[in-house]
Homo-oligomer: A and B are copies of this chain.
Amino acid sequence: MSTGRGPSRNSERIVLGNRPLRNYLLDVVLALNRGVDNVEILGKGRHISRAVALYNLLHGRLGDSLHLDKVEIGSVHEKGRRISYIRIVVSRRII
């Protein structure tokens, strides 16, 4: 799922679905280990709470080496409905 459009946009997006949180936790850790600049965690609708829970799991595992770059909230139109979302961008900090 890496976008890999050169060094200026070395980011990876993880979209939360119905898999257990541990799976997404692994996805994020592996992406950070691959050296991406940042990972974007996207949660829509009822997955918003899970996205925040995932961030806290990550923070618990990685501690201060995890940096919270940005939290964005908003809504998008999908299939004629307005759906809330949260976008949490994290990166690994050298400590």
Contact = CB atoms under 8 A, between A and B. Distances in A.
A29 interface: no
Given A48-B49, A49-B48, A49-B84, A55 B73 contact: yes
A72 interface: yes
Interface of A: 45-49, 52-53, 55-56, 59-60, 68, 71-75, 82, 84-86, 88
B55 A45 contact: no
A48 B52 CA distance: 8
A16 B73 CA distance: 17
Contacts of A82: 56, 60
27 contacts: A45-B49, A46-B49, A47-B49, A48-B48, A48-B49, A48-B52, A49-B49, A49-B84, A52-B73, A52-B84, A52-B85, A52-B86, A53-B84, A55-B73, A55-B84, A56-B73, A56-B74, A56-B75, A56-B84, A59-B74, A59-B75, A60-B82, A68-B73, A71-B71, A71-B72, A73-B88, A86-B86
